[in-house]
Amino acid sequence: MASFRPLHDRVVVRRITAEEKTAGGIIIPDTAKEKPQEGEVVSAGPGARNEQGQIVALEVKAGDRVLFGKWSGTEVKIGGEELLVMKESDIIGIVEHAAAHAKAA
**Alpha-carbon gap, residue 68 to 31, rounded angstroms:** 21
Does residue 5 lie within any of the structural domains?
no
pLDDT above 80 for 84: yes
Domain of residue 27: give its range.
Answer: 10-104
CA-only gyration radius of the chain, Å: 16
Let me know if residue 92 belongs to a domain: yes
For residue 22, is it within any domain?
Answer: yes
Position 1 in a domain: no
Q: Is residue 4 part of a domain?
A: no
DSSP state of 36: P
Say if 32 falls within a structural domain: yes
CATH of the domain at 16: 2.30.33.40
Could you report how far apart the first and last alpha carbons of the chain are, in Å?
37
pTM: predicted TM-score of the whole model, two decimal places: 0.73
Continuous H helices in the chain: 98-104
Q: Is the CB of residue 70 less than 8 Å from the CB of residue 36?
A: no
What domain count does the chain have? 1
Instruction: Confirm whether 37 is domain-assigned.
Output: yes
Q: Does the residue 2 lie in any domain?
A: no
Summarised one tens digit per residue, pLDDT across range 17-47 is: 765 545 566 665 555 455 668 999 999 999 9
Q: Cα separation of 41 and 51, whole Å?
A: 27
Adjacent-strand bridge partners of 76: 83
Classify residue 90 by its DSSP letter: G
